[in-house]
Amino acid sequence: MVAVTRLCAEGLVRRFPGTVAVAGVDIALQAGQALGLVGPNGAGKTTLLDLLSGAGRPDAGRVLLAGRDITGLAPHLRARLGVARTVQRPAWFPGLTVLENVLLGAPRRPAPGRDGQVRRDQVRRALDELERVGLRGLASRPGGEASTAARKRGELARVAFMDPTVVLLDEPSAGHDQESLLVLVAAVRRWLAAGAAVLVVDHDRDLVNALCPTVLLMRDGRIVGPAPAGGAVGEGGGGE
Amino acid sequence: MKRWIAVVIVLVLLAVLATGCPKKAAAPSGEPVKVGLLVCETGAFSSYGLDNLNGALMFAEDCNAAGGVGGRPLELVVYNTESTPARAVAGARKLIADDKVVALVGLGMVSEASAAAPLVAGGPVTFVTCAAYQPENSMMFGAGVFVPLHHACICRWLAARGVTQFALLTTNDATGEVAEAGLRRNAGQSGLELSIVERMNPADVDASAQVARIAAAKPGALVVWVVGKPLGVALRAIKTAGLDVPVFTSHGNRSLEFLRSLAAIEPAEFYMPCPVDAVWESLPTAHPARAMNAGFSARYVKKFSKIPGAGSTDAYDALALLCQAFAAVGTDSAKVVAYLEAVKGYQGLAGTYDFSAENHRGLGPDDIMIARVRAGVLTPAD
Amino acid sequence: MNGRRDVGVTAASALRVRAWGAARAWGAAGTPSILLLLALPVLPALGGRYAQGVLTDLGQLVLAALGLSFLKGRAGVLCLGQSGFLAVGAYAYALCAGCGVPPLLAAAIAVAASGAVALAISPAVVKNPTDGAALATLALVVVVQSLVTGLRGVTGGASGMRNVPPLLAVPGAAAFLPWAAVVAGMLFLRWFSATATGRAIRAGRDDPRAAARCGVNVRAGRRLALVICAMFGGLAGAMTGASFGFISPDMFDIALAIALLVMVVGGGEGVLAGPLLGAAFIYFLPDIVRASRDFQTLLNGALLLLVTQYCPGGMAGMLSAAARRVLGRRTRSAPEKGGWSP
Amino acid sequence: MAGLLTSAALGGLLAGSVFALVGLGVLLSATAIRTVNLAVGEFYVLGGLMFFSLVAAAGVPPLLAAPLAVAAGAGCGLLVERCAIRPVRLQPPGTIVLVTTAAAWMLRGTAQLAWGRDPVAPPALAGGQWAQAALVIGWAIAATVALEAWLSRSHPGRALRATADDPRAAAGAGVDTTGAARLAFALTGALLASSAVIAGPVTFLSYDGGVGLLLRGIGAALIGGMRRPLLVYLGGVAIGLVESMSAALWSSLYKDAVTFCLLLVVLCFWRGGDEP
């Protein structure tokens, strides 16, 4: 299988007053491949994800999505181009119903067709995704009534609904119960099968190993190479 | 803690409701004669509005003590216009339709009177206390001396002193607009030139730039047509700039304790055009307005612990005229208008009223004079 | 075949559910309240001259508050200058209608003018929906008042413009039109909230960063909400001018803007019934406690403090909570507070 | 021409200093509530009115009355923090802004009841117009420098800034955020009361005078990004100068429009405190 690069970053640098959070990172995410990223606290993992998703701007370097330079692109535009990102706190909107929370990921310019038909198709797809994460029964409830684990699963449903080409998962295991973790693993497998690239950052090394054949180690703002297999990454390794 | 705060707030609210007892003084028996009062009790014009209210309450007390209106008690129904035209209109509508008043007194702002004018075109009789507003329909009368007459008075006085050109510093609101128009017209008639007009915001804390521009134009006199706090700001700028010319200001400032506290920055020559009631203490003993004002002022100070302001005598006179008409011809609007239009030489607190079909304002140029302000105290200038 | 039909049916029912969700969020209780809404415009015909006057004033306030309620409650933008948009609408209407433009067309121009002004100041508003928006909208009021006062030859200056033509030269129209606009506006906002764009705007209020991660252009949503709010304000302003026949800059001061905001928050933000309850309460408050004038400012402050501290859902939230307690079962939940993440 | 420009510049600097002081109050209380405090104008007015009453009615010598008024201002700030702000501290900023509006109305209503509607001119601490102006300008600079140093160097100052950035994280790091909020409001009250004592004879005071100052004070604070006292000071002076210069060089009729249009333009391109 020929490797197709979905997202790649070249020479990313991000400085904060008094520290360099990301000090020259090159990374490439291939279609159908899950990449793990581990490292001690303060190694710059979350900042790197911010730069890839657009939540932060790099001081140097660039980000390419399928060959297109998206370095200066706003987060919402990257999301529309298929870059999905989650953080520890799920993106969940208590003022919207569970179904609306998923529909939020609908494309701005829907496929051509009769308006009503397109909308019905969207709703059906959203319900299907909710079915997969086991929230179908809650579809019409207000988002605010969902438990933390349900919100995490609902977020997965939305990411799936967005048909992402790149998924950046930041601490996906946090807030999940055992059953939800299985849902998560199944969802990641499905995205990979659909040809998306997945980047997983997590403290739960077992989960990262289970999902990703390749795991990289990040330390002091640099990617220093493959992470030692199975070894827990010490907290005192660097950073703060 | 939260509950504690709630209890305190509720208690405060109850206290507020308890203290605000309705102001009804109905000594004489019988069906009361209801007059609506629309005054700015809060907002930008509240200082003037409060004077209106106090003057009216004073009259209601006097009137009912003296047996009411033809034996019927006078009842005032008071609404706050909050210094906004919308509230003034809402209040007027309620007074006319709901409270069924036989006359309206108040509307201290030009915009309030303008907005309410269409509503009262078919009655009842409305006495506007805003001196800058020209009554625009036959049901409306104006209290106080029409403000352009103040300006005419200033211009005549300046012309007599040999001044050829003067400056105006005023606020960027309706007060300022009326002042500019009035002074421009009267300056032309008196052969004077209004050489420069500068504006300030009533909320400004500095007027140096405006005063510097005025000083550069070298005027022979300066009119500072502002009311309240901006007067202090303007006088301070004049003092700092060392501009040494006669300064005139609006009679709206005359009752303010504030004027007294400005003694340190008072210009060397400081004048104010004002009606007789502002300088009654200096009137000759024989002058009929002197005794009236002496009594009024004494009772007013006793009741409200402050000296009567510009709006109090206007409201008092307006009610006095209306009640005289009610006693004579009843409360029918057309008859009251006809009665008032026939009033000649009526001596009120603020001057001598002569109405006619064309003149719905009663007071004229003779009822106004230039007073000199020294350390906040007014005396006739000539 | 069987399975496909099944999915189709559930998708359709889900659509209904979605619409109901939006209706729930806007606090409209379905058919009865819609019937009530439709009855509102008929009310003016029943009352006398005084009732008509009250309905005119109140309808205009509700209309202006409705736009503000959408902006504050749905998009989470704090606007302290709705009266600026009212002023733009009122003056645009008065100037156009004064030049012989048919009144209804002039009202449309007024609405467009308000929307355009909102678009012009939107860069300052959308970046920072609290502080920046508050100051930018306050500044708008000052600028509009200053320009209207300055351009005396055009606007009549601080003394105001007289003889503003009525919108429809039919008796009672002044009282009817604002309520018709309120009903149309409520139906529009109810529909709009349920569309994909409305959904995106609500998500942007709940959590702007997370919404951006979901592909929502939060700033564009706020901009659209501001323009909608301004258009409601512009229409209310045009109607104010048309019904009074007179406009002056001090009719549209900061105090009015704050009063409108208090109506929205006091009534229950983001709830359709909120502006109605809030406007009625503020409008009739001076009649209720009219004896305590010296205390008016203090009293208004105390009431606002009570509402913000004890019933964040406003009067609508309080009523629905009371209804829940009385009925003893879960009806509609109180409107969600904006999920604010520090 | 030179004379005109000098007068306008001095007047603008004087007015700008007052706006800067109000802006500093907005900045200080924003460290506790993370949004603008619409009651700062009323803090100014109340502090000045209390000073006026102490001297004019109670006959306290001005130099003794000044610290008393400042203490009363601090107490006023504490009262507002305790009764209005603290119960809603975790609410969204929009709600907090409304709570400060409510507090402003209650303070204004109290001032109206206690001092009436007429404006007052509090006694001057320095004789002569120039001395007074110099005192105001000097006090604004002194307050700016002191705040700048205090916020960046002292431990409580750092605690305030940490609370402003992220109250939860600050609490996690051992900062007493409630105490920080209390301190912020007491300081706001004290700063504005002292400013009113010094600038009151220049600006004059009336129960409703807070609103005009507030608008320009918020403008100063937002131009300064609500973080650095020095930038807030410069913002306040800039507003004062723009207003004064546009009155001197163009038209005093349009000076408000010019100032606030410029403010709108600045806000449109302003990047501090952006949210997505």
SS3 of chain B: helix, strand, coil, percent, to 5: 45, 20, 35
pLDDT tens column, B72-102: 899 999 888 888 888 898 889 889 888 889 9
The answer on B231 and B376 residing in a single domain is yes
Give a yes or no: residue A137 inside a domain.
no
pLDDT, position C11: 44
Q: Do residue B17 and residue C54 have CB atoms under 8 angstroms apart?
A: no
Residue C4, in any domain of the structure:
no
Question: Residue B137, Cα to own-chain centre: how many angstroms?
Answer: 20
Could you give the percent of chain B with pLDDT greater than 70?
92
Do the chains contact at C218 and D110, CB–CB below 8 Å?
Answer: no
Q: Are the CB atoms for C46 and C102 separated by under 8 Å?
A: no
Q: What total of structural domains would you count in chain C?
A: 1
Given an 8 Å threshold on Cβ–Cβ distance, is D275 in contact with C208?
A: yes
For residues B70 and B80, what is the distance between their CA atoms, to the nearest angstrom? 28
B233 and B326 co-located in one domain: no
Contacts of A94 in chain C (CB under 8 A): 206, 336, 339
- Average pLDDT in the C322-332 region? 65
Q: Which residues of chain D neighbour B50 with C-beta distances below 8 Å?
A: 117
Assign A80 to helix, strand or coil.
helix
Q: Say whether the C–B interface has 3 or more Cβ pairs within 8 Å.
A: yes
**pLDDT tens digits, D79-138:** 999 989 988 887 888 788 889 999 999 999 899 888 888 888 888 888 788 899 999 999
Residue C6 binned pLDDT confidence (cut-offs 50, 70, 90) = very low
Residues of chain C with Cβ-Cβ distance to D108 below 8 Å are 297-298, 301
- Residue B295 CB neighbour total at 10 angstroms: 12
List the single range of B280-289, C129-138, C149-158, D58-67 with lowest mean pLDDT.
B280-289
pLDDT at D231: 93
In a domain, C73, yes or no: yes
How many residues are recorded in chain B?
382
- Assess if residue C8 is contained within a domain: no
User: Which chain C residues touch A89 with a CB distance below 8 Å?
Assistant: 210, 341
Q: Cβ B6–C294 below 8 Å, yes or no?
A: no
Q: How remote is the C-alpha of D190 from its chain's centroid? A: 10
Q: Are B83 and B44 in a shared domain?
A: yes
B212 shares its domain with B163: yes
Residue C18 clears pLDDT 60, i.e. is over it? no
pLDDT for the residue C123: 92
* Joined tokens for residue C95: 């100037």
Q: Which among D112, D168, D215 has the least Cβ separation from residue C138?
A: D215
According to the model, what pLDDT value does residue C108 have?
96
Contact between B111 and C310 using a beta-carbon 8 Å cutoff = no
**Is the pLDDT assigned to residue C183 strictly greater than 90?**
no
- Asked if residue B184 and residue B273 are part of one domain, the reply reads yes
Architecture of domain D2-269: Orthogonal Bundle (1.10)
Range of the domain at B141: 28-146+295-367
Are B88 and B43 in a shared domain? Answer: yes
- pLDDT-derived band at C41, boundaries 50, 70, 90: low
The answer to whether D119 and B234 have CB atoms below 8 angstroms apart is no
What CATH number is attached to the domain comprising B102?
3.40.50.2300
CB proximity A163 to C under 8 Å: no
Strand partners, A13: A23, A60
Q: Are B250 and B300 in the same domain?
A: no
Listed by number, the residues of chain C in 165-194 with a beta carbon closer than 8 Å to a beta carbon of chain B are: none
If pLDDT is split at 50, 70 and 90, which confidence band does D175 have?
Answer: confident
Other C-beta atoms closer than 10 Å to the C-beta of C283 total 18
pLDDT of residue B15: 63
With an 8 Å Cβ cutoff, are D167 and C342 in contact?
yes
Domain assignment of residue B17, yes or no: no
Q: Which of B373, C149, C147 is nearest to C139 (CA)?
A: C147
Determine contact: C333 vs chain A, CB below 8 A. Answer: yes
| B19 vs B23: CA distance, rounded Å | 11
Tens digit of each residue's pLDDT (9 = 90 or more) over D231-272 = 999 999 999 999 999 999 988 899 999 999 999 998 888 765
Q: Residues B192, B263: one domain?
A: yes
> Quick one: closest CA in C to D103, which residue?
C301
Band of pLDDT at residue D173, cut at 50, 70 and 90: confident
Report pLDDT digits (tens) over D205-225.
988 888 889 999 999 998 888
Residue C24: the pLDDT is: 46
| Cα B375 from Cα B372, distance rounded (Å) | 10
Residue C335, pLDDT score: 40
- Classify burial at C155, counting beta carbons within 10 Å of its beta carbon; exposed 0-12, middle 13-18, buried 19 or more: buried
Q: Is C100 left (phi over 0), alpha (psi -120 to 50) or beta?
A: left
The residue that leads in pLDDT, C37 or D131, is: D131
pLDDT value at residue C299:
81
The answer to whether residue C293 sits within a structural domain is: yes
C72 is written with which tokens? 């504050």
Q: How many domains, chain B?
A: 2
Cβ pair D4:B212 closer than 8 A: yes
Q: Write down the pTM of the prediction.
A: 0.87
Written as six digits, the tokens of D194 are: 């002292």
Give the pLDDT confidence score for residue C328 in this predicted structure.
63
E strand spans, chain C? 161-162, 246-247
Indicate the range of B85-99, C221-235, D58-72 predicted with least confidence: B85-99
Beta-sheet pairing, A5-16 with A60-65: antiparallel
Residues in chain B closer than 8 A to C306 (CB atoms): 6, 9
Q: Does D191 touch chain C (CB under 8 A)?
A: no
Contacts of D245 in chain B (CB under 8 A): 209
DSSP labels, D17-48: HHHHHHHHHHHHHHHHHSS--TTHHHHHHHHH
Residues B320 and B374 in one domain: no
Regions of chain A where pLDDT drops below 50: 233-240
| CA distance to partner chain D, nearest, from residue C269 (Å) | 11
Q: What is the per-residue pLDDT for C233?
A: 97
Q: Do D98 and C254 touch (CB under 8 A)?
A: no
**Per the domain annotation, does B138 fall within a domain?**
yes
CA distances from B230 to B92, D91, D126, D258, D259 (A): 31, 39, 21, 20, 19
pLDDT at A239: 34
The pLDDT > 90 percentage for chain B reads 41
The reply to whether B3 falls in a domain is no
Higher pLDDT among residues D214 and C338, named by residue: D214
- Hey, are the CB atoms on D11 and B198 less than 8 Å from each other? no
Residues C162, B43: C-beta atoms closer than 8 Å: no
Q: What is the DSSP string of C124-186?
A: HHHHSTTHHHHHHHHHHHHHHHHHHHH-HHHH-GGG-EE-PPPSS-STTHHHHHHHHHHHHHH
Report yes or no on A121 lying in a domain. no
Q: How far apart are CA B63 and CA B52, in angstroms?
A: 16
Residue of C128, C149, C250 best to disrupt the D interface, most CBs of D under 10 A: C128
- Chain D interface test: which of C138, C218, C337, C341 (most D C-beta within 10 Å): C138
Does residue A192 fall inside a structural domain?
yes
Structure ipTM: 0.87
* Sign of the C-alpha dihedral computed for residues B332, B333, B336 and B342 taken in this order: negative
Is residue B152 located within the same domain as residue B275?
yes
Q: Supply the DSSP symbol for A76.
A: H
pLDDT score for A237: 38
Find the helix packing angle between C218-244 and C82-98, rounded to 10°: 50
- Any idea where the domains of chain D sit in the sequence? 2-269
DSSP string, D208-232: TTHHHHHHHHHHHHHHTTTT-HHHH
Mutate to test the interface with C, among A78, A83, A99, A100 (most CBs of C within 10 A): A100
The answer to whether residues B105 and B89 touch, using CB atoms and an 8 Å cutoff, is no
Domain-embedded: residue B288? no
A55 within domain boundaries: yes
Q: Stretch C31-44: mean pLDDT, rounded? A: 62
Q: Do chain B and chain A touch with ≥3 beta carbon pairs under 8 Å?
A: no
Q: At what angle do helices D129-153 and D155-165 cross, to 10 degrees?
A: 80
Cβ neighbours, 10 Å, residue D275: 14
The answer to whether position C57 is within a domain reads yes
Write out chain D residues lying below 8 Å of C300, CB-based.
Answer: 105, 109
Q: Which two tokens stand for residue C134?
A: 């508050």
Structural domain contains residue C336 = no
What burial class does residue C125 get, using C-beta atoms within 10 Å of its C-beta: 0-12 exposed, 13-18 middle, 19+ buried?
A: buried
Task: Check which CATH number belongs to the domain holding A167 and give it.
Answer: 3.40.50.300
Domain of C103, in residue numbers? 17-327
For C241-297, the pLDDT digits (tens) are 999 889 999 899 888 998 898 888 888 876 777 888 888 888 887 776 655 567 777
| Nearest CA distance, C113 vs chain D (angstrom) | 18
At C170, phi and psi to the nearest 5? -125, 135
Which distant-in-sequence residues (6+ apart) come within 8 Å of C171 by Cβ? none
C290 interface with B at CB cutoff 8 Å? yes
Mean pLDDT of chain D: 90
pLDDT, residue D219, reads 92
Within a 10 A sphere around the Cβ of D130, how many other Cβ atoms?
A: 11
Q: Look at residue C65 and tell me if it is in a domain.
A: yes
The total of structural domains in chain A comes to 1
